[in-house]
Structure 1
Amino acid sequence: MNREIIDETPRQCLTIGRIAPDFTAITTEGVVTLSQYRGQWVLLFSHPGDFTPVCTSEFIAFAQLYPEFEKRNVQLLGVSIDSNPSHLGWLYSIMEMTGLRMPFPLISDRDAKVAELYGMVNPDRIYEQSVRDVFIIDPNQRIRAILAYPATNGRNMYELLRLIDALQVTTTYGVSTPANWMPGDPVIVPEARTFDELLQRVTDPESVGLNCLAWYYCFTDLSQVTPLNPESE
C-alpha cells in the first residue's frame, strides 16, 4: 500500500529571548531587511494565503488599528509564500472593498526562506501554505513573544496590542503583569532580594507602596515605579 511521505524535518527552533534572524525580502513596498527596523518593535506575522476570507478579515483589522500600533512604535510586517503580484492584487481588492490602503509591507516569500527561517512552514504542506504565526521583536531585535494560530481562526488584534503594552511596560519598568492585565492595572513587582525586604512586605507593605497578598505576591501601581531608563518612558 502506498503511503504519503511526510517531511518530518524539525522546524527551525526559535525561542523567546533569541535574536531574531535577519533577512532581506521583496515586499509590496520594495525590498526590506528586518535589521532596518532596529530601534522599533516589530510584529512579524504570517498568513496562510492571499484571497482567503480569514486572512482578509485580519488584514482589514490590522489596517484599521494601524494607528494604535504606530503609537506603540510597532512596525507591522506581514509574510506569506504568495507572489508579489498576488499580494498587490489582493491588497487592491481589500482597498476596493473597504477603502483601506494597507499601510505596512507584505513580504513575498516565494522560496519560503523567511518561513523556514522562522519555522512558519506547515511541515505537511511545505511550499503550499505558511501557518498563522506571530513574532514580537523588540528594538534590540530580540524575540519577546511567539504565538501560533490555526488557519481556521483569526487573531485578536486587541490581544496583540495588550501583549505589546505588557512587554513594553516590563521592558521600561522591570515589572511583570498578571493574568488578564490591562493598561492602568496594578503590576507585579520583582521578588524580595533580602530577608529584611521580605519581612517588610509581610509586616508593612504599604510603607513602600505595595499591596502584598503574600511575601512573594506583591502588586503596585505603575506610577509608583521608577523606569529602568527614564529616557525610554
Structure 2
Amino acid sequence: MISYNNLNNNLNQPEKTECITLGTLAPDFLALTTQGYIRLSDYRGKWVVLASQPMAFTSVATTELIDTAKIYPLLQERNTEIIGLTTDNIYSNLAWVYDIYQKTGITIPFPIIGDADLKVSEQYGMLNPNRLYGETVRDTFIINPYGRIRAFFTLPISCGRNGRELIRILDSLQITEKYNLYTPADWVQWRPVLEPTSRTYSDLINRATTAETDGVECPFWYVCYTDLPEGAAKEITSGTPTTNMMKADNR
C-alpha cells in the first residue's frame, strides 16, 4: 500500500482507508496520466489492472514497467488494459517513461496516473496511516468488464510483480466468469480445471452417476477435474464478455 511521505503524519492522522472487497464496484475516478486524462468508467467492457508503484525512478518499479510493456500484447488479447499509478506528479512520470525509452528503446504503452493529490489512492484504500512509510507500496486491483473488483493483492517495496502470474490470474478469473469453473493449485494455462463442489445431495449423486460419461475425473467426491470446453482458449484470449458474466454482475 502507498503511505504518506511524512512519518509523523502517518502515525497521528485518523484512518481514511476505504474498504475494498471482492465483488464491490471499483470506485470511479478521473485522473491525469502520461497519456492525458482518463476516467475508469470509460473502460467498461474491458478488464482493467490498476497497479500502483511507490514512486517514479525506482529500481523495482522500472523493471516492472519494462516487463509489463513486454506482456502488454498478451493483456490486450485478453481484453485487458493496465493503468499504472504513482504518487509523484505527472512530470516525474513523463520523465520516467521517457528515460526508459531512451535507455532501452521500449515504449510504455499504458497510462500512468500522477496521483500527487492522493485522490485515487484514498479511493482505493491505499493510504494507511498505521503503516510506516515504504513498508508496503505495491497494490494491484483486477477489475472486470462490469466494473467489479475480482482480485487484489499487495506486495512490499522489495518484491516486483510477476507478469506471467498476472496473466495466469486473469485467465483463471475469466474462466470462472465465462464457464463457472475453478482453477486448482499450481494450475497453468489450459490444463484441467475443477468443477465447483456439489452443494446439494442430489447434485452429488448426479455427478457421481454421470462423471465418467461426462469426462469428469473425481479422486474425491468434492474434487472433480474436467477439461476446458472446446475453444475456451480462443474465447479467453478474444476477451469478449459473455451473457453469464452480465448476469453475475447484475445481481
Tell whether the structures are fold-level matches, with TM greater than 0.5: yes
| Structure 2 unaligned spans of 5+ | 1-6, 236-240, 246-251
- Aligned pairs for 1:1-233 (under 5 A) are 4=8, 6=11, 7-9=13-15, 11-123=17-129, 124=131, 131-192=137-198, 194-202=200-208, 205-223=211-229, 229=242
Q: Which runs of 5+ in 1 are unaligned?
A: none
Structure 1 consecutive aligned stretches of length 4 or more whose deviation exceeds 6 Å: 224-228
Alignment-mate amino acid for residue 160 of structure 1: L
Counterparts of 2:101 and 2:242 in 1: how far apart (Å)?
41
Larger relative contact order (C-alpha < 8 A, sep ≥ 6)?
Answer: 2
Q: In 2, distance between residues paired with 1:72 and 1:229? A: 13
Counterpart residue type for residue 28 of structure 2? D
Find the residue that maps to 1:65 and give its secondary structure. Answer: helix
What is the deviation of 1:229?
Answer: 4.4
Superposed CA deviations along residues 20-41 of structure 1, whole A, max 9, x for unmatched, are: 0000000111110000000000
The normalised TM-score by structure 1 is: 0.89
Contact 1:122 1:131 in 2 (8 A): no
Aligned residues of 1:115 and 1:130 also touching (Cα < 8 A): no
What is the distance in 1 between the residues matched to 2:230 and 2:202? 21
What is the SS of the residue equivalent to 1:131? Answer: strand
Aligned residues: 229
Q: CA deviation at 1:112?
A: 0.2
Q: Identity percentage over the alignment?
A: 43
- Secondary structure, counterpart of 1:222 in structure 2: coil
